[in-house]
Structure 1
Amino acid sequence: MMRIVMHVAVVAAIAGGPIASAKAQGASAPQTSSATATPENAVLLTVFLRHDQSRPLSELNAQLAKQGFYKAFPPPGVEVVSWSVVMGIGQIITLRFPASRIREVNRVLEDTAWGPYRTEFYPTYDYKSVGMSEHEKAQ
């Protein structure tokens, strides 16, 4: 339970911080950070990349290459927890990184994925151990 509370607290901290700092910094590109994710600063972020179904896959891939998507994403030091293709939707990626890097991750996706994909972002936390524990208790 404490782990869930910690993740929720990190997500809540993100909600109040980067928006204000982004306004203060203007539209300039975010600085790349070498900070690594720790239990105290890590956030999980699930990203939906919904593909444009009005265009063929070859066209989408060509635009991704032109925009440098796979070169820039994921940024160095951002851990990919999972990366799946969901038929009819697109790609679903879960990332782990320090909360302070959320703007950087967002900007990489804005700069390289928009067009072929419509992006959606969901703060996430790992519930597997809690869910499995509850399942075992119920048996």
Structure 2
Amino acid sequence: MKYALVIGLFLVQILGYSQSNKETVPTPKPDDKLLLTIFLKHDQSMNLNEIEKIRTDQGFYKNFPPEGVSVVNWYVVMGIGQMVVLELPASKLAAVNLAIERTAWKAFKTEIYPTYNLYPIVEPKLENKAKIAY
């Protein structure tokens, strides 16, 4: 009788979890892309010519972005430096990090933020659907 009660409680617990109303999080696919925002912050102890020389000497323009990575936007942010937005497969994240470490350090201090596009989720909720594409 004791064992039947334990088994019964065990089954109730399992069935309770299987009936959960929680939304499932989609599993990432190998081809899923992410956006990566990189701030290349100017070292204000150097002028633009010195920064460009370091970048060129370190091979920045030859090695960045790595193959398989696309530039979405590249802006100058006055008072900060440059902001680069890349689109890449998650598997290329290490290659981007390595390219930054090898070719941008000394010329810039860097901040890197992985992001994702929330607009497709928010768009149906917006009353004003106007979107500017550059």
Question: Is structure 2 residue 114 aligned with structure 1 residue 123?
Answer: yes
Paired position in structure 1 for 2:42: 51
TM-score by length of 1: 0.67
Tell me the number of residue pairs that the alignment of Structure 1 and Structure 2 aligns.
Answer: 104
Aligned ranges 1:108-119 → 2 under 5 Å: 108-119=99-110
Query: Would you identify which runs of 4 or more consecutive aligned residues in structure 1 move more than 4 Å?
Result: none
Partner of 1:63: 54
Gap regions ≥5 residues in structure 2: 1-24, 129-134
Q: Is the 8 A contact 2:68 2:92 kept in 1?
A: no
Name 1:73's counterpart in structure 2.
Answer: 64
Distance in 2, Cα, partners of 1:53 & 1:133: 44
C-alpha separation in 1, matches of 2:77 and 2:49 = 17
Pairs within 5 Å for 1:1-139: 40-136=31-127
Greater fraction helix = 1
1:76 partner letter: E
Please say which structure displays the higher CA radius of gyration: 2
Residues 97-126 of structure 1, C-alpha deviation per residue, up to 9 Å, x if partnerless?
111111111000000000111111111111
Distance 2:31 2:102 in 1: 29
Whole-Å separation in 2 of the counterparts to 1:52 and 1:116:
7
How big is the shift at 1:134?
Answer: 2.6
Structure 1 vs Structure 2: percent identity of aligned residues? 48
AA aligned opposite 1:52: D
Give the drift of 1:66.
Answer: 0.4
- 1:57 partner letter: L
Instruction: Note the residue ranges of structure 1 that are not aligned, 5 or more in a row.
Output: 11-37
